[in-house]
Amino acid sequence: MTPWLQGIVLGLSIAAPVGPIGLLCIRTTLSHGRLLGFLSGLGAATADGLYGAIAALGLTVVTQFLVGRSGWIQLVGALFLLYLAYRTFRAPIVEDGETIRSGGGRGYAATYFTTLFLTLTNPMTIVSFLGIFAGLNVSGDTGSALELVTGVFSGSALWWLLLCGIVGMVRRVVSRTAMRWLNLLSGSVLLIYGLASLYRLIV
């Protein structure tokens, strides 16, 4: 496969596992529609692309800086997860015609930068990319490296587009009770991830 196609496969494999970002994307889509849901996922795809570019282009100074301060960066990420859990638990349920949505409208920029920031708080992603790119033998070829990174972003964005499209199809049939349970589930998972991150940093 070409580096771009390899990047798409890699981007899909990185984005597909359901974690905090996936839950945020699903909840945002159900609450506010496909566009905001996709923007939520696009923030994560952008972060993956940025870290992939740093690794692929061999920006050693940037890599060492981020990895050397990974503990503090991950601490910020853990606290941000706890804040998002709090926000999710308190999100009200309102009915708008046939649409059930949670918490009112959200700005496009806020939706995008929330997941961008959250994904960037895991700088060890760069180390994973370094190993993968070394195995694909693109670290010394700037053109191939950029093509691979573009594929990673495209693959990740494609996954979020597909996920939001599928979730959006059932949005209008989601009941108030289901949204309450979704908020409870999402908030609980975010809380668990945040506490687990703090625990790993402490021990």
Q: Please work out, in degrees rounded to the nearest 5, the angle formed at the alpha carbon of residue 112 by the alpha carbons of 150 and 38.
A: 70
Structure tokens, 3: 């580096």
Q: Is the pLDDT of residue 162 over 70?
A: yes
For the ranges 92-96, 131-135, 191-195, the lowest mean pLDDT is seen at 92-96
Q: Measured between alpha carbons, how far is 152 from 70 in angstroms, rounded to an integer?
A: 22
According to the model, what pLDDT value does residue 100 have?
Answer: 47
pTM for the whole structure: 0.80
Q: Is the pLDDT of residue 125 over 50?
A: yes
Q: Measured between alpha carbons, how far is 165 from 17 in angstroms, rounded to an integer?
A: 17
Q: Is the pLDDT of residue 81 over 60?
A: yes
Q: Is the pLDDT of residue 53 over 90?
A: no
| Residue that wins the pLDDT comparison between 149 and 138 | 149
Q: Measured between alpha carbons, how far is 124 from 66 in angstroms, rounded to an integer?
A: 8
- Residue 59's CB is within 10 A of a number of other CB atoms, namely 14
The position carrying tokens 């972003």 is 153
Q: Measured between alpha carbons, how far is 51 from 169 in angstroms, rounded to an integer?
A: 32
Q: Note whether 193 and 84 are within 8 A (CB).
A: no
